[in-house]
Amino acid sequence: MLSYFFKRVLFFLPVLLIVSVFIFLISKLAPGDPINNLLESNLKSSEPLALEKILKEKQKEYGLDLPLFYFSIRRKSEPSIVSEIVSPSLKSHLKSISYQCGNPQSIVIYYEYLINLSSQSINRYETLLETNNIKRLKALIEDEKVMDGLEKTKTWNNYLLTFTWNSDKNQYHQWISNILRGELGKSYRNNKRVDEEIKKALRWTLSLSILSLIISFFIAIPSAVYSVIYPKSFFSKVLDNLFFAFYATPTFVVASLLLLFFSSGEFIKWFPSYGIGYVEENADFLDVISTRVKHLFLPLFCWTYGSIAYLYRQLRSSLSEEIKKDYIQTAKSKGLSSNNIYWKQALRNSLIPIITILGSYFPVVIGGSFVIEHIFSIPGMASLTLDAFYARDYPLLFSISLLASFATISGAFVADVLYHFADPRWQLKTNDS
């Protein structure tokens, strides 16, 4: 058993590494620039040279001045200096011209011309950046040497690639090294530590998720067992219809109805409509509990009802198949008690789908629910993730995504452990395969 789980751990490590690379690259390919968003006011007021200096300083502060990965691949027509430029408009213009020209040396000369021009005439500089055609540039560029270089095209360089090894001086290495040391960096939005931001949000998401999971299991398991034991009883039919309705009703519909009937004041105003409630620092335990319960009761209900319905349906279906098997009929013929037959034998052998659901629940525990947290204004992980996404807050997005990936892998590992305890034959099956 130990050797099997050791192999699983060794398998999870490279998977986690591959996922981290994938998350990093996807985030970098996303449109928008976080530094530009951060300095939006400066973008409108600064001169080109001053702006470039500001952006470079800010990039260096966040480690964004380094190459993305351990190696870089670019077209031979594009000089390395283009990758070092921060201004989006200047970089885009030079890339477009380099693809038409194909001569990297000429692009470097043209870049120096633009830098000099930006300090002399901003209007002409901006006009050149808006002109992405070499033929049209001829009427705007007075320096014949610069223009002659651009007209000497070597377009075949567009089809040749240049490989550059960046060693460990790259953004990914810096980020993953900090992660392993427990340093998640600082948020672009407010310059606060990412781990502190995650801890604040994770506190509420974990509280709601774990409470929801406990309540779901305590209600769904006994209900499913009772429904299988007494399938024709009135209470069993009520459970079937009730949980079917829960399963079929979208969360946002239930949340909206709960706010309308129990928080709006038009019908009943038993609960606050949003937030987690304000608690003073010197408040006693009962005041804290009272405030939190009032604010979190409706979100917790929305978080839980669907899980109960899903667990109930899955377990009831599994139990219904299990009690038809020969060993159950043999146990009944021997006169064993219903408690022994259903709770100790049938239920244990029906837990495999429930364990699978439990393993898949790990990322939900970490990630939260966008719908519930948004409707009830809960400052949890889902809200934090959405805010980070809109702000292009990459350190925060990276950390949340990697945490969710780790939760997914951990869920699969925990499920493997529980499979073995629920059915000792599971290890033999996995070893045989």
For 375-404, what is the mean pLDDT?
A: 84
User: Each residue of 103-162: pLDDT tens digit?
Assistant: 999 999 999 999 888 888 888 888 999 999 998 998 889 888 899 899 888 889 999 998
The widest CA-to-CA distance across the chain, in whole angstroms, is: 103
Tell me the residue length of the chain: 433
pLDDT for the residue numbered 429: 46
* Mean pLDDT, the chain, whole residue set: 82
Q: Is 354 helix (H, G, I), strand (E, B) or coil?
A: helix
Predicted structure pTM score: 0.70
Residue 163 CB coordination number (10 Å): 8
Given a contact cutoff of 8 angstroms between Cβ atoms, the answer to whether 59 and 35 are in contact is: yes
In the 8-state DSSP scheme, what is residue 373?
Answer: H
Phi, psi at residue 100, to the nearest 5°? -80, -35
Residue 308 exposed, middle or buried by CB count within 10 Å (0-12, 13-18, 19+): buried
Say if residues 161 and 128 touch (Cβ distance below 8 Å).
no
Q: Among residues of the chain, what percentage have pLDDT more than 70?
A: 90
| Domain layout of the chain by residue ranges | 47-180, 194-432
Q: Which residue in this structure is represented by tokens 């480690």?
A: 63
Determine the topology of domain 194-432 in CATH.
MetI-like fold (1.10.3720)
CA-based nearest residue to 314, from 345, 360, 368: 360
Rounded CA gap, 68 and 261, in Å? 52
pLDDT digits (tens, 9 = 90+) for 31-65: 666 666 655 545 554 566 666 777 777 777 777 77
Helix spans in 323-391 (H): 326-333, 338, 347-349, 352-367, 370-375, 381-390
What is the sign, positive or negative, of the torsion defined by CA atoms of 130, 135, 138, 139? negative
Give dist(CA 28, CA 299) in Å, integer. 34
